């Protein structure tokens, strides 16, 4: 009997240990309290990504999450910052072709839009193609950026001094207007301040690329875009005619360990900022539910597909997070306790069964003894054993009444036989 109990208890301990491990893993998974402050690495000052970061900051503040924006030289530096777990950065922008590696600790919130490459130049006559840039002083940005890599592949940096080729943003704009450089290869949305300044300046020209479709075929990360005539300023006819451009797509990356609730509100911000129609795309095109370069965040994909959950829609972020943790813990507790209760019930039933079997065996021994000739000493021993069995029977729990009365009836029958034999 005790050997069987020991085996069952060992099995029970193993089950309890397994369930406890599940509980610990679930608790660990949901125990990360959302950052109330997160850092995003964008791009050069005044660029499109900084503008997006400012708009995200305003949206995240509604959920009591502070977004700190830090500029960078571009995608290369953004990736390095996100790669370092001690950098403090949680979110960053990446242009296709700007990074050299896929990192397992990063996931994408989707592509948020096209990032056109713009070629502005100063000249009294029109430059008809990229060949016109050869031998000219061209600002192509810092190393590690997408436009710098593109310029190198097109051999546009061969004769430009390094101090001039690395100019970006407003610095590049001033250098172009001052005649220190001949052209700028820059990237950014049409709304970017330096793009608007250059495209509206009558002394600056925007190059159209007649072989843009060929470039998009040669370099898979590129797409061909057309800036329609008059779209910038219809009355002033800016631009005067359609301009063919090449562009990449921009993705928003986050660290894989970023809290799910933060990812939800980031996805909400991306949808709010990028879901509307633009010069180069229809409404609903961005943000995308896929990313060709990085694995998608399942939380972001779920948000884009199904919208905000009931909790995210009506509760503040911190309340939602703690509520989700509470539900996870309760689910883990139920996963542990329900099988455990079933197992304990089986153990309990087994012990009660063994207990009553033992009492019945003792009664059977007494029954056989009563049918044998005996003296006063033997009858006293039988009476004492009956009293002991009677006392043990009264220890049975109340919910085993049927077993209790069955044993009591048997004990009374044996007492009658005993009284009859000893009379």
Note the pLDDT of residue 94. Answer: 92
Q: Are residues 183 and 289 in the same domain?
A: yes
H or E segment at 204? none
In a shared domain, residues 206 and 111: yes
pTM (predicted TM-score): 0.65
Distance CA 332, CA 311 (A): 20
Residues 235 and 356 in one domain: no
pLDDT digits (tens, 9 = 90+) for 335-375: 766 776 677 777 778 888 888 888 889 888 888 888 787 77
Q: What is the domain range of residue 202?
A: 37-314
Whether residue 184 sits in one domain with residue 243: yes
Reported confidence tier of residue 146, pLDDT bands at 50, 70, 90: confident
> 342 and 306 in one domain?
no
Instruction: Point out the least confidently predicted range of 11-20, 25-34, 184-193, 408-417.
Output: 25-34
Q: How confident is the model at residue 81 (pLDDT cuts 50, 70, 90)?
A: very high
Residue 6 lies in a domain: no
pLDDT digits (tens, 9 = 90+) for 21-48: 665 565 555 544 455 789 999 988 878 8
Domain membership of residue 17 (yes or no) is: no
Residue listed under structure tokens 């909400």: 268
Cα dist from 274 to 195, 203, 223, whole Å = 19, 32, 18
Residue after which a domain boundary falls, among 263, 286, 314: 314
Tens of pLDDT, residues 373-408:
777 778 788 888 888 988 988 888 877 788 888 888
**Residue 23 within a domain:** no
Strands, E assignment, 47-104: 66-70, 91-95
261 and 385 both lie in a single domain: no
The whole-angstrom separation of Cα 274 and Cα 278 is 9
Q: Give the long-range contacts of residues 124-133, CB within 8 A, separation 24 or more.
A: 126/205, 127/205, 127/207, 128/210, 129/207, 129/209, 129/210, 129/211, 130/154, 130/156, 130/207, 130/209, 130/211, 132/207, 133/182, 133/183
* 184 lies in the same domain as 301: yes
Asked whether residue 161 is domain-assigned, the answer is yes
Residue with tokens 């001949």: 182
User: Is there a single domain that holds both residue 367 and residue 227?
Assistant: no
| Selection from 153, 199, 211, 186 nearest residue 43 by Cα | 186
Maximum C-alpha span of the chain: 139
Q: What's the domain count of the chain?
A: 2
What distance in Å separates the CA atoms of residue 164 and residue 171, rounded to the nearest whole number? 10
Q: Are residues 268 and 130 part of one domain?
A: yes
- Output 160 or 57, whichever has higher pLDDT: 57
pLDDT of 2: 44
Highest mean pLDDT among 7-16, 98-107, 263-272: 263-272
Q: Which residues have a Cβ under 8 Å from the Cβ of 24 and sit 6 or more positions away?
A: none
Cα 161 to Cα 137: distance, rounded to the nearest angstrom: 8
The closest alpha carbon to 142, from 168, 166, 163, belongs to: 166
């Amino acid at each position: 009997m005790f050997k069987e109990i020991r085996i069952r208890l060992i099995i029970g301990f193993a089950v309890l240990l397994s369930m406890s491990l599940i509980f610990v893993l679930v608790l660990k998974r949901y125990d990360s309290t959302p950052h109330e402050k997160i850092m995003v690495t964008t791009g050069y000052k005044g660029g499109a990504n900084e503008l997006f970061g400012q708009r995200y900051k305003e949206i995240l503040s509604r959920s009591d999450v502070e977004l700190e924006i830090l500029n960078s030289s571009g995608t290369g530096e953004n990736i390095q910052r996100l790669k370092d777990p001690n950098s403090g950065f949680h979110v960053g922008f990446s242009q296709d072709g700007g990074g050299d590696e896929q990192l397992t600790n990063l996931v994408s919130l989707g592509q948020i839009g096209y990032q056109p490459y713009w070629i502005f130049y100063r000249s009294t006559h029109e430059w008809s193609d990229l060949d016109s840039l050869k031998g000219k002083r061209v600002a192509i940005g810092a190393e590690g950026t997408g436009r710098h890599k593109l310029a190198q592949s097109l051999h546009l940096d061969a004769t430009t001094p390094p101090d001039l080729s690395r100019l970006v943003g407003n610095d590049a704009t001033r250098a172009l207007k001052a005649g220190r450089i001949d052209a700028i290869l820059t990237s950014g949305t049409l709304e970017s301040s330096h793009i608007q300044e250059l495209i509206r300046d009558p002394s600056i020209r925007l190059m159209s690329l007649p072989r843009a479709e060929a470039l998009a075929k040669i370099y898979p990360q590129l797409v061909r875009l057309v800036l329609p005539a008059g779209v910038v300023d219809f009355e002033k006819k800016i631009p005067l005619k359609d301009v063919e451009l090449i562009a990449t797509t921009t993705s928003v990356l986050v660290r894989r360990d970023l809290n799910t609730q933060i990812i939800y509100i980031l996805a909400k911000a991306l949808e709010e900022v990028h879901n509307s129609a633009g010069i180069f795309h229809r409404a609903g095109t961005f943000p995308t539910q896929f990313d060709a370069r990085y694995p998608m965040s399942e939380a972001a994909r779920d948000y884009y597909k199904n919208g905000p959950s009931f909790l995210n829609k009506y509760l503040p972020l911190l309340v939602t997070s703690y509520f989700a943790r509470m539900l996870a813990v309760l689910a883990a507790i139920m996963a542990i306790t329900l099988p455990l209760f079933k197992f304990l019930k089986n153990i309990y039933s087994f012990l009660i069964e063994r207990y009553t079997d033992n009492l019945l065996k003792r009664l059977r021994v007494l029954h056989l003894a009563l049918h044998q000739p005996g003296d006063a000493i033997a009858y006293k021993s039988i009476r004492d054993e009956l009293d002991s069995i009677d006392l043990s029977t009264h220890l049975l729990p109340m919910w085993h009444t049927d077993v209790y009365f069955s044993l009591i009836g048997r004990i009374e029958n044996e007492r009658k036989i005993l009284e009859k034999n000893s009379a």
